[in-house]
Amino acid sequence: MFSALSSSAENYPYRSDVLWVTVPDHADWLYKTGEKAQVEVQFYEYGIPQDGVEVKYELGGDMMPADKTGSVKLKNGRAVINVGTMKNPGFRDCRLVAVVNGKTYKHHVKVGFSPEKLQPYTELPDDFNQFWQKNMEDAARCPLKYTIKPAPEYSTEKADCYLVKLQCFRPGSYIYGYLTRPKAPGKYPVVLCPPGAGVKTIKEPKRHIYYAEEGCIRLEMEIHGLNPEMSTEEFKEISSAFGNYLVNGIDNRDNYYMKKVYMSCVRAIDFLTSQPDWDGKNVIVQGGSQGGALAIVTAGLDKRVTACVANHPALSDMAGYKAGRAGGYPHLFKNYKGMDTPEKISTLAYYDVVNFAKQIKVPVYITWGYNDDTCPPTTSYIVYNVLDCPKDALITPINEHWTSDDTEYGQLKWIQKHLK
């Protein structure tokens, strides 16, 4: 289930012989409800337009079954498909298949209809804030205990890296993270980066070393208490035996696995703000997918957070499928049996990102793509729409479940502009 999150899904496959190009007749891929949309489909092999190739298509709502199918033949490598319209706000997906020389090639494109009007199916429980306030008070009783070990293999001329083991939630429960900080003496903002979904190691700790090189203390954390120094083989064994933590204890809000995860993010803020080189003012949370969800959750829980950055947040309006449209990752009501019970729906409301987003008052920056089938655009828009705070969005329609290096570096630039 986590493969879609951990793989590098791309619209333009690396070293592929073929290329799909899809061009909606609205440049921003957006329409008003009731407007009809058309998409021009182009297909190339070796850069040559493919004439006479049959392209089969199916049309349906975002993450929904097809409600129409058909086919077109390419002329000079091009054809136009009438995507239709939607009466209610949302996204419509045009899924494409072509067979060339016996090999099947697939692509898709989503267009939106008044998505700025999308609202969550998930409701805010009356005692939401009281529930989380009690959990934070309980978790705060766990002593702040940690170890820091130099990790020179991930350091640079301008930044030092350390492996941190941090006690969270209850005594004896730990998480790990890589802490990077500028070598130059001074006082710096702190940035917490929670992980994407899965039971896995922290990959490439130097990938975002530019945060520390440009004046931030940054903690990239994991959530399961697994030492990232373990081998890949050990992680694979543990992952296969671990089960799906996103459904563990879901029948009861007090026993759900993600309670420890949410409280671990708050404890990570405790750790970062205890560092002697913190500037005493700026606390930023930043992440993508599940990490984007946890960034928003932490910003909604912890009033010390001063800014939030999230890519295509997961865990958002998860019960949205009950409204007849896409719900958020992990798509519990689409991919799992027995999820539609009052107990599970009640638990999810306390853990859904949309309800934490409603609590945020600090600046938020979100980016998402329309072609994402992991964290669909329907749910990213819903999160953005419920934010009642200063907010910015970078919308990249062509993107599936990925962000470019330039987009990720641009998030640091946004953070720097929002420092106190």
pLDDT in tens, 79-128: 999 999 999 999 999 999 999 999 999 999 999 999 999 999 999 999 99
pLDDT of residue 232: 81
What superfamily would CATH give domain 3-116?
Answer: Macroglobulin (MG2) domain (2.60.40.1930)
- Classified as helix, coil or strand, 348 is helix
Question: What local confidence, expressed as pLDDT, does residue 131 receive?
Answer: 98
**What pLDDT, in 10s, does the model give residues 155-170?**
999 999 999 999 999 9
**How far apart are the C-alpha atoms of 378 and 402, rounded to whole Å?**
16
Residue 192 scores a pLDDT above 80: yes
Written as six digits, the tokens of 30 are: 């957006």
- Rounded to an integer, the average pLDDT of 320-341 is 94
- Output the six-digit token pair for 2: 């986590």
CA distances from 217 to 166, 180, 187, 287 (A): 16, 6, 9, 15
Q: Is 107 a catalytic residue?
A: no
Largest Cα–Cα separation, the chain: 69
Query: What CATH code is assigned to 128-417?
Result: 3.40.50.1820
Q: Token digits for 238?
A: 């543990």
Give the separation between CA 182 and CA 141, rounded to whole angstroms: 31
The pLDDT of residue 7 is 36
Catalytic residue among 264, 289, 316, 380: 289
Note whether 319 and 333 are within 8 A (CB).
yes
Reduce the DSSP state of residue 414 to 3 states and report it.
helix
Q: Say which residue the tokens 């993010």 belong to.
A: 265
Residue written as tokens 């190691």? 201
Q: From the candidates 107, 108, 208, 401, give the one annotated as an active-site residue.
A: 401
Q: CA-CA distances (angstroms) from residue 260 to 194, 255, 353?
A: 13, 9, 16
> For residue 274, how many other CB atoms are within 10 A of its CB?
11
Strand partners, 38: 82
**Can you state the percent helix, strand and coil of the chain, rounding each to 5?**
30, 30, 40
Integer CA distances (angstroms), 150 to 57, 165, 207, 231, 388, in order: 54, 12, 17, 19, 41
Q: Which of 372, 373, 380, 418 is catalytic?
A: 372
pLDDT for 233 equals: 85
Rounded distance between C-alpha atoms, residue 67 and residue 353, angstroms: 30
208 part of the active site: no
Q: What is the dihedral of CA 205, 210, 212, 216, to 10 degrees?
A: -120
Residue 257 has pLDDT above 80, yes or no: yes
Please state which of the ranges 185-194, 328-337, 372-381, 383-392 shows the lowest mean pLDDT.
Answer: 328-337
pLDDT of res. 11: 53
pLDDT band at 383 (very low <50, low <70, confident <90, very high): very high
The yes-or-no verdict on residue 9 having pLDDT over 60 is: no
For the packed helices 258-273 and 290-301, what is the interaxial angle rounded to 10 degrees? 70
Strand 278-288 vs strand 307-311: parallel, antiparallel, or unpaired?
parallel
The stretch 64-78 carries a mean pLDDT of 97
Q: How far apart are CA 192 and CA 195, in angstroms?
A: 10
- What average pLDDT score do residues 266-272 get? 98
pLDDT at 240: 81
Q: Flag whether pLDDT at 13 surpasses 80.
A: no
Model confidence at 381, pLDDT cuts 50, 70, 90, reads very high
What secondary structure letter does DSSP report for 323? G
Active site residue 372: yes
Which residues are 149's β-sheet partners?
Answer: 163
Q: Where in the chain is the domain with CATH 2.60.40.1930?
A: 3-116
Q: What is the pLDDT of residue 12?
A: 58
Kind plus residue range of the DSSP H or E element containing 365: strand 364-368
Range(s) of the chain covered by CATH 3.40.50.1820? 128-417
The answer to whether the beta carbons of residues 252 and 161 sit under 8 Å apart is no
Question: What pLDDT score does 8 carry?
Answer: 39
Task: Give every strand in the sheet of 307-311, ordered side by side.
Answer: 146-150, 159-167, 174-182, 217-221, 188-193, 278-288, 307-311, 364-368, 391-395
Backbone angles phi, psi at 20, to 5 degrees: -95, 140
Percent of the chain with pLDDT over 70: 97
Residue 283 and residue 294: Cα distance in Å, rounded?
Answer: 14
- Alpha-carbon distance of 247 to 4, in angstroms, equals 18
Place of tokens 């599970």: 344
How far apart, in whole angstroms, are the C-alpha atoms of residue 305 and residue 380?
21
pLDDT of residue 334: 92
Counting Cα atoms < 13 Å in the Cβ hemisphere of 61 gives: 16
**Could you give phi then psi for residue 242, rounded to 5 degrees?**
-75, -35
Structure tokens, 114? 């008044």
How far is it, in rounded angstroms, from Cα 265 to Cα 283? 12
Q: How many CB atoms lie within 10 A of CB 408?
A: 17
pLDDT class for 212, splitting at 50, 70, 90? very high
Average pLDDT, the chain: 94
| Whole-prediction pTM | 0.95
